[in-house]
Amino acid sequence: MQNAMLEHDELIAQLLQEAEAEEKAKENPWGRNNHKTDKGKGHHISFEYQVRNTPKASSGTRKSQQTRSTQCPQARPALSVRHNPIQMLMQDAPPDFKYTKEALYVHIKLLWGMIPPGAMQTAPDKQLLKEFYQRFSNVKEVQSVAQNSRGVKLINKAQVQTLRNAHSRKRKISKNIINMRDFHITYIHAMLAKLEICIWETYLEKAPDSLYNEACQVVALMMFSQIACSGAYQYMRANLTYFGDLGLLCTAYDHFVHYILAKRYKKESQDQGWNEREVERKVVQRERQR
């Protein structure tokens, strides 16, 4: 029994050390250098996606001229319209990022306790926010603590309520299957304990670039990359290539949390029971389509 516990602790320590080594190998990867922000306007993350250029036909021959005159012009795909600076459109990401994005969304739902159909987001406790702001004054301090595998836990892991009743097993969430193990859950609890976050809950009533919301994003993406690389979302076909593309992950995170979920939260706040009615409407709609 003691040997099993030692092996378990060593595995968690190894995960934390690997995370620290990966972060040190990059230059301030969790900073906002590539995540430009206009205060009050949301995030704008710049990244480049190379699209292969189609070679142009030569105009030096009569045949090419005839072909060009008789062919119907190819219709360009219609581009979606951006209604919000943090909204993520189809043209903002490579096509094969789809499954990684879906895995990230499931990860956020797990952290936030939004797995049951129709579950609504919850707001962080005021006392928790007060204690957090007493401990941290800028995002660099949050990054430093999160990346330090030997950092002192500000609270006991037993105080962390996120995934408190989760068990090591495969489970189906909507159409997706995740493979959450005990060491994944232990890693999440240890990370949150270091930042004095009892419950992972983004504060949707505040701007995305507020310190607490920045901290939630940093820790969520760090935990996602680590547990996904160790098999938690392997059945969702997440592409490991994108786990290091922080610009793309931040864009997807902001779109889901501060655009999609924030709109849902606002509607529920203005019209209590809206979310439940919306879930019922979608169920009826799916039944009619069958």
Examine residue 86 and state whether it is found in any structural domain, yes or no: no
* Range in 49-63, 103-117, 191-205, 265-279 the model is least confident about: 49-63
CB atoms within 10 A of CB 186: 18
Nearest to 180 by CA among 243, 116, 133, 227: 227
Examine residue 144 and state whether it is found in any structural domain, yes or no: yes
Examine residue 183 and state whether it is found in any structural domain, yes or no: yes
- Distance (Å, rounded) from C-alpha 209 to C-alpha 89? 20
pLDDT per position as a tens digit, 140-164: 999 888 888 666 666 666 678 888 7
87 vs 23, which has greater pLDDT? 87
Examine residue 242 and state whether it is found in any structural domain, yes or no: yes
Residue 99 has pLDDT above 80, yes or no: yes
Examine residue 59 and state whether it is found in any structural domain, yes or no: no
Average pLDDT over residues 53-66: 42
pLDDT per position as a tens digit, 209-244: 999 999 999 999 999 999 888 888 888 888 888 988
pLDDT score recorded for residue 270? 86
Nearest to 110 by CA among 201, 39, 46: 201
Positive or negative torsion for Cα 254, 256, 260, 266: negative
pLDDT score recorded for residue 16? 58
Q: Which residue has the tokens 């005159």?
A: 69
Percent of all residues in the chain with a pLDDT value above 90, rounded to a whole number = 22
- Distance (Å, rounded) from C-alpha 74 to C-alpha 77? 9
Residue 194 has pLDDT above 70, yes or no: yes
Q: Which residues of 103-127 are buried (b: 16+ CB within 10 A; e: fewer)?
A: bbbbbbbbbbbbeeeeebbeebeee
| Residue 32 pLDDT class (50, 70, 90 cuts) | very low
Average pLDDT over residues 239-251: 90
pLDDT per position as a tens digit, 100-136: 999 999 999 988 887 766 677 788 888 889 989 999 9
Q: Supply the pTM of this predicted model.
A: 0.68
Residue at 114: amino acid letter: M
The strand pairing partners of 172, in sequence order, are 177
Examine residue 73 and state whether it is found in any structural domain, yes or no: no
Cβ neighbourhood burial of 101 (10 Å; 0-12, 13-18, 19+):
buried
Examine residue 176 and state whether it is found in any structural domain, yes or no: yes
- Distance (Å, rounded) from C-alpha 180 to C-alpha 226? 12
290 vs 276, which has greater pLDDT? 276
179 vs 95, which has greater pLDDT? 95
Q: Residue 139: which domain range?
A: 92-290
DSSP sequence for 39-53: TTS-EEE----PPPP
Average pLDDT over residues 44-53: 34
Examine residue 272 and state whether it is found in any structural domain, yes or no: yes
pLDDT score recorded for residue 262? 92
The strand pairing partners of 247, in sequence order, are none
**How many domains, in total, are found in the chain?**
1
